[in-house]
Amino acid sequence: MSTTERPRILVVGGGYVGLYAARRILKKMRYGEATVTVVDPRSYMTYQPFLPEAAAGSISPRHVVVPLRRVLPKAEVLTGRVTTIDQDRKVATVAPLVGEAYELPFDYLVIAMGAVSRTFPIPGLAEQGIGMKGIEESIGLRNHVLEQLDKADSTTDEDVRRKALTFVFVGGGFAGAETIGEVEDMARDAAKYYTSVKREDMRFILVDAADKILPEVGPKLGAYGKEHLESRGVEVYLSTSMDSCVDGHVVLKNGLEVDSSTIVWTAGVKPNPALARFGLPLGPRGHVDTSEKLQVQGTDYIWAAGDNAQVPDMVGRRAGNPNAWCPPNAQHALRQAKVLGDNVISGMRGFPQKEYSHANKGAVAGLGLHKGVAMIVMGKVKIKVKGRLAWYMHRGYHGMAMPTWNRKIRIFADWTLAMFLKREVVSLGAMETPREEFYEAAKPSPAPVAAKADGDKDKAGEKAKAS
């Protein structure tokens, strides 16, 4: 951390909002006007809409993340976690990756810490569940699923095999539906290379407490998404939830019980719980209470946006709904970040603040190679698209929305290569414990096993001396 005479704009979180807001501020700022400091426990921003494709191996995981120091060369990027904010002293406490926590003074503050997986106290979930919020989880899921195929192929124990080949996904929003669509596609492809594992041996189950999936694209396309997944053999159970999953024994409220080694939890998100320690005004569900100008209520030097903020949806409110709030998605996060950046500059210079107002442009979702659903909103008209065209729209939209040309080009290159070369289906499960093999080789040898016969004893003694 540098000590600075200039005012400091502290951006807490380097995700979608943090990255775009910092870029906007740096673009609009005069030379030397302020120091922009971005704090995030990760040194990269993750483009979350691509996590399902990264899990399926359609995109290289490295291309889904954007290194903060590279795209924000004029900012001070600190790797650590902001743990508390002292508003009276205008000081944040930062816990770095290693070493003692330190205090960081600021003049202006941007809260952009996003959301975390929303979970419930379900027995077994903490031990068995796999989340889908970060690239690490996406890589882990891919390796894990392919490893289950390896396990099933290598065993003759029918129970072990069945458990390995049963995949349960809880939550049918964007994250859940896209992930099960992509992973089922990958597993189907991978099964071609196994002698004793066929797609028919696998069981894919999608569970949601609501009575529909993909609410983001509307009921008709959600129903199409469900039918489409079912046509691929995915069992979809709606209006039901998971009661427990102790040791992988999944019990659903509708009475279904299955054993599964893979339980993916994508049942929604909640605002980052760390916000509770910041002393900021929070809404009923834990979001930072933010005005339509993205200023935190009751302050004139703190702004918030994205998944951790409760931002009024001014289009909805003008249409007569006084309780309309912006949903937590990338479409809003990106646009809010730009307005927020402008407002920070205006706030610093004493100019008026701009209102955030954005009409929903629709949504696109990929459900595996060449499969998707899309809803495009043009004024009062909603255009619904499904199948291959929707999948092209999904790829086109997200490919272009990916931050930086460097990443856009890499993503399109991945897709182009995948058209000519087959999908990569190797499991690198050992990546999670890369030192294990070396440790086995390097650890001190155990005492030699006592030989039974006298002659053997002599041989064992000689071997021990030689080693």
Ligand X SMILES: Cc1cc2nc3c(=O)[nH]c(=O)nc-3n(C[C@H](O)[C@H](O)[C@H](O)COP(=O)(O)OP(=O)(O)OC[C@H]3O[C@@H](n4cnc5c(N)ncnc54)[C@H](O)[C@@H]3O)c2cc1C
Query: Shortest approach of ligand X to residue 404 CB, angstroms?
Result: 15
Smallest separation (angstroms) from ligand X to the CB of 39: 5
Q: Which residue is nearest to ligand X (CB)?
A: 15
Q: Which is nearer to ligand X, 59 or 175 (CB)?
A: 175
Structure tokens given for 340: 């927020």
As given in the structure block, the two tokens for residue 160 are 């072990």
C-alpha distance from residue 258 to each of 167, 193, 264 (Å):
10, 26, 14
Q: Contact 207/243 with Cβ under 8 angstroms?
A: no
Least Cα distance to 158 among 203, 206, 204, 201 occurs for 201
- In the complex, the smallest distance separating the C-beta of residue 446 from ligand X, rounded to whole angstroms, is 43
Q: How far is the CB of 213 from ligand X (least distance, A)?
A: 14
Handedness of CA 220, 225, 226, 227 (dihedral sign): positive
Nearby residues of 229 by Cβ (< 8 Å), 6 or more positions away: 177, 180, 181, 184, 206, 213, 236, 367
| Shortest distance (Å) from residue 45 CB to ligand X | 6
Smallest distance from the beta carbon of 111 to ligand X, in angstroms? 9
Which lies closer to ligand X via its Cβ, residue 13 or residue 140?
13
Q: How far is the CB of 179 from ligand X (least distance, A)?
A: 7
Q: Residue 244 or 329: which CB sits closer to ligand X?
A: 329
User: For 330-368, b where at least 16 C-beta lie within 10 A, e where not — what string?
Assistant: bbbbbbbbbbbbbbbbebbeeeebeebbbebebbbbbbb
Q: Is 200 helix (H, G, I), strand (E, B) or coil?
A: helix
Minimum CB distance to ligand X smaller for 377 or for 451: 377
Residue 124 or 306 with smaller CB distance to ligand X: 306
Residue 452 tokens, joined: 């039974």
41 contacts 16 by C-beta, under 8 angstroms: no
Q: Where are the beta strands (DSSP E) in 186-245?
A: 203-207, 234-237, 242-244
Give how far the C-alpha of residue 437 lies from the chain's centroid of Cα atoms, to the nearest Å: 30
Residue 165 or 334: the one with the smaller Cβ distance to ligand X is 334
Indicate the helix (H) or strand (E) that contains 186: helix 174-191
In angstroms, give the least distance from the CB of 113 to ligand X.
Answer: 4
Residues that bind ligand X (CB under 6 A): 12-18, 39-42, 48-49, 51-52, 81-82, 112-114, 132-133, 174-175, 272, 274, 306-308, 328-331, 333
Between 42 and 63, CB nearer to ligand X? 42
- Phi/psi of residue 404, each to 5°? 70, 140
Nearer of residues 277 and 459 to ligand X, judged by Cβ: 277
